[in-house]
Chains A and B, each alone.
Chain A
Amino acid sequence: MSNSNSIEAIKRFPFPFAGDSYQYSVNIQPVVNEPILDVDEHYQTEIKLRNSILDRNKTGRYVNLPHMKTAQWDTLEAIMEDLATHYSQFFTLHQKGDRWTWENKILNVRDTFAFLDESSLPYEPFEYIARQVQEDIILLDQREKDLFLDAGVLTFPTKWSIEFDAGMSFEEFHAPVPRAHQMGVFKKAKSFLRRIEIGKPWTRRNWTMTVNRRLDTSFETYPAWGKDRSSVTLDNCGAKVHLRVEVQRFVRLPRSNSLMFTIHTYLISLEELSINPVWTKRLHEVLKKLPSDIVQYKGLSRYRDTVLTWLSQNTLEPEYTNLESTVYSRSL
Chain B
Amino acid sequence: MMQAVKIIKIKNLTPKIKVFRLTEIDGKKLKAFSPGSHIAVEIPVGQKIHRNFYTLCSSQQQTEFYDIAVLLTNNSRGGSQYLHRSKIGTKLNISYPKNSFSLASFAQKHILVAGGIGITPYLSMIAYLSKNNIPFELHYAAKSASECAFYDFLKCEYSSQVKFYFSELEEYISPEKVLEKQPLGTHIYLCIPHSLRKDFITRAKSIGYPKSAIHQEIFGAKKVNQKRSFIANLSKSKQKITVAKDRTLLEALEAAKIPIDYSCRIGGCGACEVKVIAGDIEHLDSYYSSVEKTQQNKMLACISRAKNQQIIIDL
| Chain A contacts to B: CB under 8 angstroms | 25-30, 67, 74, 77, 141-145, 184, 187-188, 191-192, 195, 197-200, 202, 254-257
Contacts and interface: CB of A to CB of B under 8 A. Distances in A.
Contact of A255 (B32, B98, B289): B32
B138 to A, nearest CB: 21
Given A192-B269, A255-B32, A255-B33, A198 B104 contact: no
Interface in B134-152: none
B32 A254 contact: yes
B116 interface: no
Nearest to A150: B105
Given A191-B287, A192-B269, A197-B96, 13 more contacts: A28-B263, A28-B264, A30-B264, A74-B32, A144-B212, A191-B268, A191-B286, A197-B98, A198-B1, A198-B31, A198-B97, A254-B32, A257-B34
Contacts of B37: 257
B1 A29 contact: no
A254 to B, nearest CB: 4
B96 A188 contact: no
Contacts of A25: 263, 269-271
B99 interface: yes
B153 interface: no
Contacts of A27: 263, 269, 271
13 contacts: A25-B271, A27-B269, A28-B263, A143-B106, A184-B289, A188-B287, A191-B286, A192-B269, A197-B96, A197-B98, A198-B33, A199-B96, A257-B99
B263 A26 contact: yes
A142 B104 CA distance: 9
B270 A188 contact: yes
B104 A144 contact: yes
Among B32, B34, B60, B287, the one with the most A-chain Cβ atoms within 10 Å of its Cβ is B34
Nearest to A30: B264
Interface in B174-215: 212
A261 B1 CA distance: 20
